[in-house]
C-alpha cells in the first residue's frame, strides 16, 4: 500500500535539515510514519521524496505552514495519508 505525507521545512536548516532528520531515523518524527516503519521494517525501501514547491528563505514559518496545509488539503493526506495535523 502506498501512503502520502506532506511536510515542510523552514528555519535556519531548511530542507537540508529536514531531509537529514529523515535520513537519520526514516520517520523524521512523524508519528504515523514511525508506526508504519515499526510495523513493516522493509517499508523504508519504498520511500520517495518530492519537492512540491520551493519557497524563499525569508518567508515566515506561519506562511510556510499555511502553504503546507494547502497541500495537505489538496492531496487529502489528513484523511488518506500520514498527516495528523
Domain range holding 40?
Answer: 14-80
Question: What pLDDT is recorded for position 25?
Answer: 82
* pLDDT value of position 57: 86
Q: Which residues of the chain have pLDDT under 50?
A: none
Looking at residue 1, its pLDDT comes to 64
d(CA 17, CA 72): 21
Provide the pLDDT for residue 53. Answer: 95
Instruction: Output the pTM of the full model.
Output: 0.82
The verdict on residue 8 lying in a domain is no
> Does some domain include residue 32?
yes
d(CA 38, CA 55): 32
Residue 6 lies in a domain: no
In the chain, the number of structural domains is 1
Q: What integer pLDDT is reported at residue 63 of this predicted model?
A: 96
45 part of a folded domain: yes
Amino acid at each position: 500500500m502506498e501512503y502520502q505525507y506532506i511536510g515542510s521545512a523552514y528555519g535556519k536548516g531548511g530542507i537540508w535539515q529536514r531531509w537529514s532528520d529523515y535520513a537519520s531515523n526514516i520517520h523524521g518524527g512523524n508519528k504515523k510514519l514511525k508506526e508504519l516503519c515499526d510495523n513493516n521494517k522493509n517499508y523504508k525501501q519504498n520511500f520517495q521524496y518530492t519537492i512540491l514547491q520551493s519557497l524563499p528563505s525569508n518567508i515566515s514559518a506561519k506562511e510556510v505552514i499555511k502553504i503546507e496545509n494547502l497541500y495537505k488539503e489538496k492531496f487529502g493526506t489528513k484523511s488518506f495519508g500520514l498527516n495528523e495535523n
